Every structure is written in structure tokens, then in C-alpha cells.
Amino acid sequence: MRVGAGGLHEKREATVHEVYLSTTAARRFLPRDTSFSHPSVQSWKSRHCSALHSNLIYSILVNRFHPEFGKMAAMKTDNRSDSIEERFDKTGDVDTQEPRSESGLGASSEPAYVVDREAERALCRKFDFRLLPVLALMYLFNALDKGNLGNAKTDHMDTDLHFKSNQYNIILSVFYVPYVIFAPPFAMLGKKFGAARVLPILMFSFGSMTLLTVAAQNFAGMMTLRWFLGMSESAFFPLVIYYLTTFYRRGELARRLAIFYAASNIANAFSGLLAYGVFHIKNTHLYAWRYLFLIEGSCTVLFSIFAFLYLPKSATNAKFLDEKEKALAYHRIAVDSSSIVNEEFNLRESLKIFKQPVTYAFLAIEICLGVPLQSVSLFLPQIVARLGYSTVKTNLYTVAPNVTGAAMLLLLAFTSDFTRRRGPFIALGFTFTFIGMLIYATIDVLHQKHIAYFATFMMCWGTSAPSVLLSTWYNNNTPHEGRRVVLTSVGVPLANLMGLVSSNIFTPGSAPKYIPALATTAAFGATGAVLAGLLSLFMVLDNKRRDRKLGRKLDIREVPTELLKDGPSVPEFRWFL
């Protein structure tokens, strides 16, 4: 049977688009051995296709499952729809008969690409065991090298280097200037040349800066080293997020990123343990705090060399995957992903992310996150010191809050992935921060040590989880790779830039109680919780509005990621809540 173009010709674009949206659901719906004359295909067609478009849609559906296309389904999804359009333009009609294989009539015995769920789970486990441990260790060293000043100060580093007045706070602050300036260009370099190569190079650089800190003799030397340390670490976290989005689907990302980010909490705990051991070193030519930088810097440099040789550029280049696994990895990212596969970087297109109003809501939440995050990261040893313990015990007592912070991070992230919700758990994390800071600021710490110490646990609970979930949230809602890299390379450094605020509210004049600093941090926590809640509500309402306009509830997993690259301007776009 052949159908003339006639009245259907002007519907060509809408029809092809409708089929393109639907075929992902069809591939999940159809069993592996289903023929095109099977009643299940007819049933699917009747549910998803209008009567007007029925014949044309069916013909396109058949062609999309043609063996020639099926063999390339994982690699050439967009080419299939293009060939249909070209054929229609040239002939003005479409053959709706079942496709013929080269060997004879009828459907081919070789089915179109269908995701094997067991194979997909095995692939994810392989990524988990091959990638996450290496990335987590890289981030552990990143966090160690960035946050070890707090431990060093408890061993009188500022006195040994003859700091005056607020010079220690200046040392902390200067780190964030290059951190913000260089994050976007370095992240773009990572997109252009591959995160798997740029990440280890950045790691080698910040490890070297940490190692050179052993030789610092004065304020000027420390200022210089902290500047280059901030430059080297600037794009590290944004690039790791981008790198993981090229391996995992949207609903899988938060818990993997949480496992990676938990290394930051473990690093803070490990730094406390390491400082506890190192500060027992006596009667040497070096101050004990210098050994802290020597050990951490050396390990960072050595591990960066291993990471450079080990990390795969992408799933399709991974030596630990066979050809079937590579095809599956590619196909997964084409659907229900934060990423468009192998998208070329275009700066002009990428900067369009700032035309979307929701971008500024995400950045406002990043600002609210940054102050509590940096306050805990930089000043937890000083906060705990208010309990009245010795230098050695103070560092030891920072371990437990950081460990439980990692546990809470994993709990909230896994729950977030399971429920496919981000906003409510971000708001919950901010609430922990608000309560913890408020308790510590309002009670008599020396007479209520147990309550005060518990408040430090809540501080760590409230800073770890929102950091991961917020980054995951806006990555989930930005399918365009370039825009995602730009947003992450601005958002993450913006949160870290709030270290300038933290460094200047925890002043020597307010020590040891730091009441103004704790109250300010609590206020940022409360504001962050409100903003996250309001943004979640907006997304829920906007998704319902879009469904009403479409006439049915759309499951975002039905829509190929490639069609969503323009974000909210696309009718089929749905917010990941």
C-alpha cells in the first residue's frame, strides 16, 4: 500500500517529530522477538498515534526498526529520522509495507537495539568499580590540599610564619579569587580536550603547590602558593560532574556523585587524624605542620600520574568494556541522560544558559550553600576548639562530624535517586545547617558540651548533601553539554567564592565564640532552604502546565535527550524535580 503525500505532506514535520519522541517508548515496550505485524505493535500504535497520522507513523516506525537501522541504533539514532525525511521529500509518499531484508521478504530476524536491563546493571557496576574509587581518591586529595590550613593553624602555623593581624584570613580569602576567575576557561578546556586528561593535570598542579608549601617562609610566599593552588583547583569539581554525566543516566547520577563527594568529608576526617598523628612529631628540623603539607602534597602528585594513565576519555574509549558494552553505554546516554552524546563545544550556544531565568535561581541557591559549606570546611577545627580541648584532641574531635556527614550525604543522595527528587532533600540539608549553627550560637558551649558537639554533626550533615544534590539538580535539567559545563563552572566556583564571606566573618576579634559568624551562616542556611523549596514548587507546577498543554502526562524517559538540548523552550522538556 502506498499513501500519497496530499494532505499529509504539510504534516510531515510534526509527524516525524511525534514518531521520534515515541520510538524510545516503543523500544522498551516491544519484546526482542516481536515482528512488525504483531498485535502488540498495532496496540502501541493505537495508543500513541493519532488516526490522521496512523499510516505514515506506522511506516516510519517500521523503517526505524528496519534491520539496517537496528544495527546502528546505538550509534546513529539521529540519522534514522533524517533518512525518513529525505525519502519523503524525494518521493512525496511513503511505503507502508513491512520492510524486506536483503535475503527475502518480511521482517529481519535481527531485532532493533533493545536495552538489556541486566546488562545495563552490570555495566553500571563496572563503571562504579572502575571509575568511582579513582575519582573519589582524586577528590580526597583535592579536599585535603584545600582544607589543611585549618589543621595547620591549630599547630601555630600563623605564629611560625609571623603573620600579623588578619593575615591568616587574607591567606584564606586569596584562594577564591583565581578559583572563580579560572574555573570557566579551565572547564571549557576540559570539555574541548577531555576531562580524563585535564583532571589529572590539574591534580598534578595543585599537588605541587601543596608540596611547595613546605618551603614557605613568610606571608608573601604563602599568598603566592595559595593563589596558584586556587587556580589549579578551580575547575576540578565541575569537570568531575561533567565527566560522570557522560557515563550515567539522570536517575543514577546523584548517588554516584555522592560517593565521589563523600571523599571530601572523609578527607576532612582523615586530615584530622593525620594532623593528630603528625603533630606528635617532636624534635625535628621542620615544624610539625610542614610534615602535613609534605605528606599530602607528595601523595597527590604521585596519584595524579596514575590517574592520567588510567581514566578513559569516554565510555566508548574504555579499555575495560567490550564492543557490546560500549554500544550499550552510548545508547543509555542517548535517552534519559543529562548529556547529549559527543556534542561539539560551541561557546556561543553554551552561553545561552544565562538566558534561562531558572539559572539565576540555581546560582542564588549556590550562594546560600557557599557560606555554610566554606564555614564548616575552613573553620570546623576552630569551632570545635571552643569546647576547650587541647590542639591534638581538637583535631581528633573533627573526625566524627565529618564521617557522619559523609553517611548523611550517601543516605540523602540514594534516597534522592530512588524518588527522583532533588529539591526537597536540598531543603532538608539546609535545615540541618540552620539548626546546627543556631544551637551552637545560642547555648553555653562550655556547660553543654554534648549538645554543642552534636550541633557540629548537624553542621556537617547540612553542608555535604546540598552541595552534591544541587550540582546534580541543575546538571539533570541542562541536557546541552556545553551549557552544562558553563553553568557548573560558574555555580561551583560561586559557592566556593563564598569562602571570602566565611573568611571575613570568622574574625580574630569574634574568637573564640564567633557568634556573628554562626548567626550569619544560619541565616544563609534558612534562605537556602526557602529558595530550594520555592524552586521545587515552581518545577512541579510548570510540569503540570506543560502536561495540560500536551494533553497527557509525559514521562521524560520517553524523550531522547538530543531533542531536549534547548531546555525549557522545548514543549517536551520536563523539569527533573
Residue 336, pLDDT score? 53
Residue 82 has pLDDT above 70, yes or no: no
17 and 153 in a single domain? The answer is: no
Helix (H) or strand (E) run with residue 95 in it: strand 94-95
Residue 243 to residues 263, 432, 562: CA-CA distances in angstroms? 17, 30, 18
Residue span of the structural domain in which 270 resides: 119-569
Instruction: Summarize pLDDT for 255-265 with one digit per residue, the tens.
Output: 888 887 888 77
Residue 24 has pLDDT above 70, yes or no: no
447 found inside a domain:
yes
576 found inside a domain:
no
Instruction: Summarize pLDDT for 401-429 with one digit per residue, the tens.
Output: 999 999 999 999 999 989 989 999 999 99
537 and 453 in a single domain? The answer is: yes
Mean pLDDT over residues 290-311, rounded? Answer: 95
CATH number at residue 178: 1.20.1250.20
Residue 90 has pLDDT above 80, yes or no: no
Instruction: Summarize pLDDT for 427-437 with one digit per residue, the tens.
Output: 999 999 999 99
103 and 124 in a single domain? The answer is: no
Which DSSP symbol is given to 104? B
Residue 268, pLDDT score? 76
pLDDT confidence bin for 525, thresholds 50/70/90: very high
Residue 73 has pLDDT above 60, yes or no: no
110 and 146 in a single domain? The answer is: no
**How far, in Å, CA of 132 to CA of 569, rounded?**
34
Instruction: Summarize pLDDT for 343-360 with one digit per residue, the tens.
Output: 667 888 889 999 999 999
Least confident of 89-98, 353-362, 500-509: 89-98
The larger pLDDT score, comparing residue 312 to residue 9, is at 312
92 and 143 in a single domain? The answer is: no
574 found inside a domain:
no
pLDDT confidence bin for 335, thresholds 50/70/90: low
155 found inside a domain:
yes
53 and 141 in a single domain? The answer is: no
Residues 243/199, Cβ–Cβ less than 8 Å: yes
For the record, the C-alpha cell of 295 comes out as 605528606
Instruction: Summarize pLDDT for 191-206 with one digit per residue, the tens.
Output: 889 999 999 999 999 9
Which DSSP symbol is given to 286? S
46 and 101 in a single domain? The answer is: yes
Residue 33, pLDDT score? 45
Say how far residue 345 (Cα) sits from the centre of its chain: 19
577 found inside a domain:
no
Residue 35, pLDDT score? 47
Residue 202, pLDDT score? 97
Mean pLDDT over residues 152-169, rounded? Answer: 89
280 found inside a domain:
yes
Cis check: omega of the bond before 512, within 30 degrees of 0? yes
| Mean per-residue pLDDT over the chain, rounded | 80
Residue 419, pLDDT score? 93
495 found inside a domain:
yes
Number of C-alpha atoms within 13 angstroms, CB side, residue 101? Answer: 14
Residue 369 has pLDDT above 50, yes or no: yes
Residue 79, pLDDT score? 41
394 and 516 in a single domain? The answer is: yes
For the record, the C-alpha cell of 4 comes out as 500519497
Winning range, highest mean pLDDT, from 111-120, 430-439, 543-552: 430-439
440 and 327 in a single domain? The answer is: yes
525 found inside a domain:
yes
Residue 7, pLDDT score? 47
444 and 519 in a single domain? The answer is: yes
Mean pLDDT over residues 207-217, rounded? Answer: 95
Given 82, 114, 146, which residue is the final one in a domain? 114
Residue 279, pLDDT score? 85
Mean pLDDT over residues 540-567, rounded? Answer: 84
Residue 232 has pLDDT above 70, yes or no: yes
Least confident of 42-56, 296-310, 397-411, 466-480: 42-56
Residue 268, sorted as left (phi over 0), alpha (psi -120 to 50) or beta, turns out to be: alpha
486 and 505 in a single domain? The answer is: yes
Residue 97 has pLDDT above 60, yes or no: no
The larger pLDDT score, comparing residue 307 to residue 61, is at 307
Given 86, 114, 142, which residue is the final one in a domain? 114
pLDDT confidence bin for 518, thresholds 50/70/90: very high
Q: How many domains does the chain have?
A: 2
Q: What Rg, from alpha-carbon coordinates, does the chain have?
A: 27
Given 60, 86, 114, which residue is the final one in a domain? 114
147 and 92 in a single domain? The answer is: no
Least confident of 206-220, 225-239, 265-279: 265-279
